[in-house]
Amino acid sequence: MTPKQLHHIIRLNEFIKKYVDGYDYKDCLKSSMKDYLISVKKSNYYNLEEARHLANTIDKETKFIKDNYLKNNELIINKDIEELFNDTIVRAFKIKFKEELKYE
């Protein structure tokens, strides 16, 4: 467990809480815990045992929130967004592969 991994776990939990509370997507992307998250990521804010315990606790909470949300809400997939997302992934992989092939 690295500090950066813990940072991502905490941030995802914050994001999903905002999302299920009905915040706009752009507001879900803004963290209200920026200073705390930076401290977690850039230092040994928690020792390894504390970090693992916190990560497990937050992971369970995040999964519970997700499962509860999906159980009580219809999953709506916006086809335009799905296509844009897939195109973006393909472009990103192409760029990365071209970059890696330059060095071989």
Hey, what are 51's tokens? 């970090």
Residue 99's pLDDT is 83
Instruction: Reply yes or no on whether the pLDDT at 71 is more than 70.
Output: yes
Mean pLDDT of 67-94: 90
Give this prediction's pTM: 0.71
DSSP codes joined into one string, 13-29? HHHHHHHHTT--HHHHT
CA distance 47 to 14: 22
pLDDT digits (tens, 9 = 90+) for 33-64: 999 999 999 988 999 999 999 999 999 999 99
pLDDT score of 104: 61
